[in-house]
Every structure is written in structure tokens, then in C-alpha cells.
Structure 1
Amino acid sequence: MDDRTSLAERFERDRGHLKAVAYRMLGSASEADDALQESWLRADRSDISDVENLTGWLTTVVGRVCLNILRARRTRREDPLDTYGDRVGGAEEGDDPEQEALLADSVGLALLVVLDSLAPAERLAFVLHDMFAVPFDEIGPMLDRSPTAARQLASRARRRVKGRTALPDADLARRRRVVEAFLTASRGGDFDALVALLHPDVVLHADRSVVPTPEPFVVRGAHVVAKGAMAATGRALFTGVALVDGAVALAMAPQGRLRLVLGFTIVDELITGIDVMADPDRLRRLEVGVLDG
């Protein structure tokens, strides 16, 4: 068996692992597939006669390709979101929204949001080391940095991922149960469950980037707010629970890119207020973290 055949077989054998690396680096299944294709083209042109660990070497090839994609990625135009529409904002033509949503759930949507906020070098160092156990001795040269510098990048990213909250654990857990129940009911289209979670006089505020109106949009009453949530079940596919500015919230992030946040005011197990944020400047100022467990 020659080196080319061995490499092709190993690439196919490791495809699942390599796709996982690329997806965590890029946050998009379609972009991850593109990165794997480019990685194979690069690998196939390389001299592998001295490579002892093909899986490790392929992992670094994928990492380099993803790093280039992240560095070249341009900020996409952000369109206003129709809060009560039933489209999935941000999905690209040709993508499978349900498959993307399953991948996001498997990794953790909040984690993808935090990773998207990191500098490319931080993201690479954190993903390769903390998620795939690639040594810093191998990560450093990929970034033209020392292993010590790569370790510092991963540490900085780790602090961002963890997030901070001043809430006691019991209060955080209680609020999380309510918010998770709201998301479950929204995804399942369970109107009665939504109404049961909302205070009768609940007030929903949406900024002007959510709904294209001259002024912020305000909705009052449990039934009206629940109907709005029912109409946005498609968007709920790309929504997950996150720690936002120290509080439990919902973040909508198709392809791992934050597009909308729902903040909640909760009193006595009932949601009394919902703040829907989509203004890009406002979103950039938010500190998003991952809830433990």
C-alpha cells in the first residue's frame, strides 16, 4: 500500500473527527464540509513520508485551513428579524436547517456563540487543545507563536467560555429551569405550556432591529406573547440557553453567529418581562458565557 492510498483511507476513517474539529472552529456544517475538501486537497499534495501520526497531522491541516477561513471571514450584513415570522434567520441557501440545529445542540449553541466572539488564534488554541487534546507544542507553530503563548491564548478563551454570574447557584438553577421550559414549549409549539410560564401581564420589548418599525416594539399579555413565540418555532431551532451578562437568557445563533437574544425577568417562577435584542451594536456589548451542566 503506497502513501497516497494510506492517506486517503485514513482521511475517510477520520472524517467524523475532522468534521468535528472544523465545525467547532467555524460553527457551520457547510463551511466545515468546505474546509474538509480544502484540507484533503492540501494533504494530497503534501509529502507524508516522515509523518508518523496521520490523524494528528490531518487535524493540524484542518486547523490551519479553518484558521485561514476565520481570518478571511468578512462580517455579513445583518438584516432586521421578523419576530413573529416563521423563517429561520441566517440559514444559508442549500443548508439543512434541522441538521445544523442538531449539530449546534450536540456541541452547545452557547459555546458556539462564545467561540465566534474569540479572535481566530484564541479559537484555534482553545478548540484544538481543550476539545481535541492537541499539544501546545503543535499549536504554537500553527500560529507562529511559542507554546507558552498558545497556552495563554487558550486560557484567555477558557475564561470567556466560562462566563460570570453574581447569582447564587440555587437562583441560577431556578431561572434556568423556567427559561429552558420556555424554549422547549416554543420549539414544540405547546401554546398552553407557554401561557403557563408567562405572567398574565407579561410585557415583551423588542428593539428596532428585531421588527422594522420606527420605535421599539411592545407586546403585552400572556396570550399575545405566547402566540408570537408559536409563530417563531423555526427560529427556535437555532436558539439555546446561555449566560448573558450574568443572567440566564436565550441566544439565537444560526451558524454559531449571534443574531438575537431574549432576556427574561422572572418573578415567582413566572416570566414577567422579555427583552428581545437584535441590534448589532447592542449584541456586541453583551458578555455571553456557557452555563455549567
Structure 2
Amino acid sequence: MTTESITFNHILGQGRVNQLGGVFINGRPLPQAVRVQIIEMASKGVKPCHISRQLRVSHGAVSKILNRYAETGSISPGQIGGNPRSKISVQSIEKQLMLTYEENPKLCAAELRQLLIEQEVCSRATAPTVASINRFIRGKGWNREKKQEKKRLNHSIDSILGISMDSDGKLSSSDDDSFSPSESRRNRTSFTAEQLETLENAFKANTYPDATEREAIAKKTGLTEEKIMTWFSNRRARCRKHLPMYPSIFPTVVPTPQSSAALFPMPPSLPLFMPTGPLLFPAFPQPELPT
């Protein structure tokens, strides 16, 4: 079963049927005769709901016409598409806002609003809100241009890698055009035999050297304090990696000074692994108490 849509031809164009069975033109006011009839029925004491049913006009349209008549005394419809005078005033405000923002691009929305009021472009009551000014600026795309022109920080990734931004928005390297990531890597430090011997001796003496000890090591080896700290950190990590497997190799190095192994070191005569046979330390006989 198919249902055909019912349409009616009207002098103003194609008509539609509302829920009450009346014909209306979407976006157009009611005819003048119907509006006069609504006012006459309301003046006789007919309720708006009864007027809506009898004339087959929506209840919202009836209420709107009655409220307009009560406020202004007019039954004519309002201006279609808004008041043209208000459009002209809005366009003038937008034009002045564009000129003001181009002259002072660093001003925020609140300062722009205050400047429009001071220039008597609009009053405080008719001035646009801060949110509407922000929407207007975002719609023009001025925020994106402002972000692109923002000064780059010294600790940004581009500054660290030596990349600069051209006026056309293209990335360029300060060294050469062919930039490879491998060139930006830091070269590994190579130590001499004398430096390694000094570092190993200091590591056996103290795995966590303080500032005074690091300064003394730096004088002996000629290395910077940063490289010395890095070497000690890597050496401790390598020591922790091999300590559970070969504890006899590093007898003086322990991961944590507060551990029980540091407070109670294992005697060298004892085996590293406990055998599964009989107990090495049998229970000592308890002395007999006198009866």
C-alpha cells in the first residue's frame, strides 16, 4: 500500500498541511484575513486552543499573533529576514572590528570590545560579546596566522636540531639541505686505558661518588663531570646485571647499602648454593635445665 503526499497550490507557492488539517506556507506569515479573524475571535472571549481548532491554525501561530497584538497593537507580520537597519549596523561593527584587529593584532577579545565602545562604534548594550568576537576572529583565520608568526622557543625540537622555518613555511636546516637524523646523534665517548683504570679504581672505592670525588676524578682523567656521572651510571647498571649470576666477581659492590647482604656478608668458605642433602648446620643440643 502506497501513500501519496498531499500538496496544495497556493498563490504564494506550494502549500503544506499541518496536524489540524489547515494549509500553510512554510516560512511565510498567515494571510491578513486569518489574522484579523484570530483577533476578532479572541476579543469575543474565545480561548486560543478553540481558535486553533476552528481555524485549523497551529497553536503557536495563534499565541504569537495574540502576543504581538497585545504588545504593539498591530496584527501585521514582522519583517521577513530581519530588520535591514540591524544588518547595516552589524556590518559596520564587523568592518570596524577588522580594521581595529589589523592595527592591533595582539589585543584580546575583551580589549577589542572595550576599544569599540571607546571609539563610539557601538554602545555597551549593543557591543558584541567576547565570545562572539572570538568566533569572528576564528572564522577569519587570524588565530592561525598569529600562531605561525609566534617566535620559536630556544628549547624546541626545531631549535635543538637546527631546523628553521622559511617565510614560505618550508623547513630548512642550518647546516645543509640534506639533513639526516644520524648526523644529529651524539658521538660515543672513547676512554683511554689510563682513564678507564682511574674510573675502575674509583668505582671499587665508591659506586656513588659525591661532588668532591667527581671533581678529583675529573682532574685525573680530564673528563667532564657529566661524562663521569654517565660512566658511573652505566657501570652500576652493568654491575647490577651481572651481580646475581657472579657475586664473587664484585665482592665489594652491592646494589643497595641497606640490604642484608651488606650488613651480614657471606663468609668466603661457605658455598654459593645451598645443597639439597643433609643440613650443614645441625641443631645444637639444648642444655638441660635443672629440675
Q: Is this a same-fold pair by TM over 0.5? A: no
Structure with more contact order per residue of length (Cα contacts < 8 Å, sep ≥ 6): 1
TM-score by length of 1: 0.18
* Larger helix share, 1 or 2: 1
Higher relative strand content = 1
User: Highest CA radius of gyration, 1 or 2?
Assistant: 2
